[in-house]
Amino acid sequence: MSTWAEPVSFASVWERAVAGRADEVFLVFETPSGDVARWSYGDFDEAVDRVAGTLAALGAGPGAAVHLALTNSPTFVAAWLAASRLSAWIVPSDPMGRTPELAGHIERTRPAVGLCAGVRAGTYRAAVAEAGRDDLPVIEIDEADTALEPFDALPLTASDRPEPGLRDRAAVMFTSGTTGRPKGVEVTQANYAFAGKVMAEAAQLAPDDRQLVVLPLFHANAQYYSFASAIWTGASVALMPAFSASGFLPAAARHSATCASLFAAPIRMILARGGPSQGVRLHHCWYAQNIAADQYSTVAQWFGCRPRQLYGMTETIPAVLTDESADPHHASMGRVSPGCAVDVQDTSGGSVEPGVVGEMVVGGEPGVTLFAGYLDAPDITAASFRDGWFLTGDRAVRDDTGRHYFDGRRSDVLKVSGESVSIVEVESTLVEHPDVLEAAVVGRPDEIRDEVPVAFVVAADPSAPPSVAELAAWCEARLAKAKRPVTITLLDELPRTSVGKIRKFLLTERAAAQVR
């Protein structure tokens, strides 16, 4: 397995960037009203010390947690870097989360201080009370504030900075919760630094590059792939408060962005609601999850570059698979990223041959190149590894050249009358229909066939959707009988988490209700 020869702390990576790029732009932030603020690395470092001083005064010293329920904002970035400098750790929650979800995160992580938006303070304070933490200091933030006004304690001085250890906890990020109770993924100082190194090298990032960040900062993608890589390189970031399908390319042009990172779902939204824009200078864009060949062709024209697919999880730290710039393929997750270790194995832990489907497993050193473990869950952590390999639960096949192709989750394989049916294959077939924007397929219990596929489809043009009969005929001409959806339901949109993952458990519940 691959190891990282010289691990460093994320705090030291930031300090190195500040020392070498003090007068160069670090952050450009566009407020919801369209105002733009800019900070150099040196200017933002002063803001980090101000935030660190306030957090420390409230008890957020080494080993303490700082809970963040914030949208994309300068405060989020400064609080993240300040916690890292203090050898504390952040707990980023979905800022639009409901009281029970926020209360669960607060109760499980016992933060020293919480940061929330003033406009959502009622929900947040209700969560604090539900968690039994009436003593928790809460700082209410205006997320459009570019002066970071609430942080008025004496700034942290260089002599007061602790020396963070490589394996010191730097974050606990809760998985998105598309199924059951979210797990808390423990991320260390070395983890963030490793993510930055690998992703910067995979993207061939240079100091004059500018990342466009539209995905939510509380999620690993924006932290690992965009911010950590920019900081590792000394590049800059243009931060948008939220994703806008119609506004993505104009924002890229407006802020002279050269790099970006997306999921398949936002790309489909851009294709459906956006359009080409003058002045776009993107030369690189990551994306996760497959898009159709015609969608890829169009987006490559609009972006001015051929996007590159990747594969990673919060637990794997960087994307452990990244497609290459020379010849990216729209359906491939790429090859093993430099410094990472990936295998495709059978259920006994043996490597499978090219062309054979198996489970993707990731090697590395927990707390350095892999996540440190799941919060307060040693049994779950142990069960997620086999012979030192982290079990992703994702199925893939690789070819003779080392390219990997996604074949679904272990749970994405249905047993229909004893025959294995890949949900991904059925979804891909539906998406290939010219009038379909996206599709999701789930399993439904069946008394005769054990389970059957059920499809939910979003039309490319809501005003002229395909008929269910047309889609059924399309599947009949392309799929074996066991793979054909028994019902197809047209939806205006698929239910999603805040980072675009489909909440399939809601569709499963809806599918089950169809036969009641």
Residue among 326, 324, 261, 328 nearest 293 (CA): 328
Reported as a single tens digit per residue, the pLDDT across 172-204 is 999 854 445 689 999 999 999 999 999 999 999
Token pair for residue 305? Answer: 């570059």
**Residues 146 and 31 sit within 8 Å (Cβ to Cβ):** yes
Q: Confidence band (pLDDT; 50, 70, 90) for 4?
A: low
* Distances in whole angstroms, Cα of residue 401 to Cα of each of 212, 312, 353: 32, 20, 12
Residue type, 265: A
Instruction: Report the Cα–Cα distance between both ends of the chain, in Å, rounded.
Output: 50
Residues 6+ positions from 222 with CB-CB distance below 8 Å: 72, 213, 215, 216, 261
Mean residue pLDDT of the chain comes to 94
For residue 462, count other CB atoms closer than 10 A to its CB: 12
What the block records as the tokens of 197 is 């190194």
Say what the pLDDT of residue 424 is.
83
**Is residue 322 scored above 80 in pLDDT?**
yes
Average pLDDT over residues 226-240: 98
Interhelix angle 468-476/423-431, nearest 10 degrees: 120
- Strand bridging mode 321-322 / 308-311: antiparallel
Work out the burial of residue 394: count CB atoms within 10 Å of its CB; fewer than 13 is exposed, 13-18 middle, 19 or more buried.
buried
The CATH superfamily label for domain 417-513 reads: ANL, C-terminal domain (3.30.300.30)
Highest mean pLDDT among 66-70, 175-179, 268-272, 323-327 belongs to 66-70
φ and ψ of 170, to 5 deg: -115, -20
> What digits encode the pLDDT tens for the residues 13-57?
999 999 999 999 999 999 999 999 999 999 999 999 999 999 999
**pLDDT for position 179:** 44
Beta-sheet strands, E only, within 346-430: 358-363, 373-374, 385-386, 389-398, 404-409, 413-416, 419-422
Q: What is the phi/psi pair of residue 255, to 5°?
A: -105, 15
Backbone angles phi, psi at 108, to 5 degrees: -80, -25
Kindly report, residue by residue over 456-483, the tens digit of the pLDDT. 999 999 999 999 999 999 999 888 788 9
Q: What is the DSSP letter of 159?
A: G
Tokens of 170: 């730097």
Cα three-residue angle 36-92-287, rounded to 5 degrees: 70
